[in-house]
Amino acid sequence: MTGEDATGMLSLRTMVPAAIAVWAATFWFVHGPMVFAYLAMHAATTGVFLAAIYFADRARHNAAPLQTLRVTPQSSFESQTPAKRSVAS
């Protein structure tokens, strides 16, 4: 497989990795390996953060559902204290 499609042009599957490889090689020669070390460190810390968020979200969804508080409306008579009821009568 040469990476060409039916029209004889290079496919996107071939061009994108080739462009990334050319960019990485040029970047390496211009800026040196320390920039790649920084990018690797950034990718690692981002991965750790995303894993923590993923596992926290999974734990939240697997937890028992919260119990709902049921509130029933009361009439004005039921909400009064016994002392207020005797005064109102």
Same domain for 37 and 25, yes or no, is no
Same domain for 25 and 47, yes or no, is no
> Residue 21 is part of which domain span?
1-31
Same domain for 2 and 17, yes or no, is yes
pLDDT tens track for 37-76: 888 999 999 999 999 999 988 887 776 565 555 666 666 6
Same domain for 6 and 19, yes or no, is yes
pLDDT for the residue 51: 93
Q: What is the pTM of this model?
A: 0.39
pLDDT for the residue 53: 93
Number of domains present in the structure of the chain? 2
Q: How far is CA 37 from CA 17, 21, 41, 54, in A?
A: 20, 17, 6, 25
The tally of CA atoms less than 13 A away on the side-chain side of residue 51 is: 6
Residue 53 lies in a domain: yes
Lowest mean pLDDT among 20-29, 33-42, 56-65, 75-84: 75-84
Average pLDDT over the chain, rounded to an integer = 78
Burial of 80 (0-12, 13-18, 19+ CB in 10 A): middle
DSSP per residue over 9-72, as a string?
SBPHHHHHHHHHHHHHHHHHHHH-HHHHHHHHHHHHHHHHHHHHHHHHHHHHHHSPPPPPPP--
